[in-house]
Structure 1
């Protein structure tokens, strides 16, 4: 069964800049820059028929491309930090694209996504990272801001069952106008 999700790719120049944020945090498992992405909709482990339905449904998306900016570095997990991420600056075109993915996946019979959409690029997964060390890391790197970049397509990724962070494979690409 494939594990699928839809996402926006991060251009190599922006990924290179993000990769400069790696290091300096004990307990961090850093994501390889070639696997950086902004998840739009996690589809999950599905059978091949559902995977085909998902891919076909995504063909219905008819939207314009847009620009994105990464703005700030933060963490998920509050007092028990579990991930470091680069936040995506608020963008109505992104929110509308993600909402369309959600509607399409529900239409083909997938359950609704259980979490609120918070667009981000995961930089590291944390295991037993001390909150104080995470706070120190963020105080040095939290003000990161990328140049704006054009989003001209979204992709359907597959991943193997792993701890997270790749490897991912592009199963289909969907251009934006």
Structure 2
């Protein structure tokens, strides 16, 4: 069986610390099946799924020839969710959909199309997942008096994009195997 991979951006230590605080507050009112380890906080750019070493090598070589955007800043937050507001299936930190991020996504998608990876038809919705899978309890975002900490936006400097290998049986789960400098 081939390993699974994705391209993404690691959350900075400052963002990790603050989003871990969000998780702690969230855990007081909700119990998700999966809580993302703070070392695994990231923005997914493109999920590849199972890939052979040959395909990964070709993808990396294709991207090494790219002219990446210059390093840029993003806003992380406020909190968001996928699914129902009261019992979301995913609780996340929203991510600013900046021009530089969209350019990077397009470059990764175009390189992948040359190798047989289809471009997704759905809109790109960048986020950092904090917790997922059916939750018990009620989301603090569904309450009128929810803590304002979930409204905060944190700045994050993006200087690299990574190719991650997924180790589903380990914690942390995501191993950076290639780094592209912006």
Q: TM-score range by the shorter chain?
A: 0.7 to 0.9
Separation in 2 of the partners of 1:21 and 1:120? 14
Aligned residue runs from structure 1 range 6-85, under 5 A: 6-22=7-23, 23-28=27-32, 29-63=34-68, 64-78=70-84, 81-85=88-92
The answer to whether the 8 Å contact 1:73/1:138 transfers is: no
Q: Which runs of 5 or more structure 1 residues have no equivalent in the other structure?
A: none
TM-score by length of 2: 0.85
Counterpart residue number, 1:158: 165
Displacement of 1:170 after TM fit?
A: 0.6
Counterpart residue number, 2:177: 171
The answer to whether the 8 Å contact 2:140/2:146 transfers is: no
TM-score by length of 1: 0.87
Displacement of 1:11 after TM fit?
A: 1.0
Counterpart residue number, 1:98: 105
SS at match of 1:142: helix
Greater mean deviation of Cα atoms: 90-99 or 129-138: 129-138
Separation in 2 of the partners of 1:62 and 1:78? 40
In the superposition, relative to structure 1, how do residues 24 and 116 fare at CA in structure 2: closer, same or farther (>3 Å)? same
The answer to whether the 8 Å contact 2:30/2:138 transfers is: no
From 120, 138, 142, the equivalent of 2:150 is: 142
The answer to whether the 8 Å contact 2:30/2:139 transfers is: no
Displacement of 1:128 after TM fit?
A: 3.8
SS at match of 1:6: strand
Displacement of 1:149 after TM fit?
A: 2.2
Runs of 4+ in 1 over 6 A off after TM superposition: none
The answer to whether the 8 Å contact 1:25/1:137 transfers is: no
The answer to whether the 8 Å contact 1:27/1:126 transfers is: no
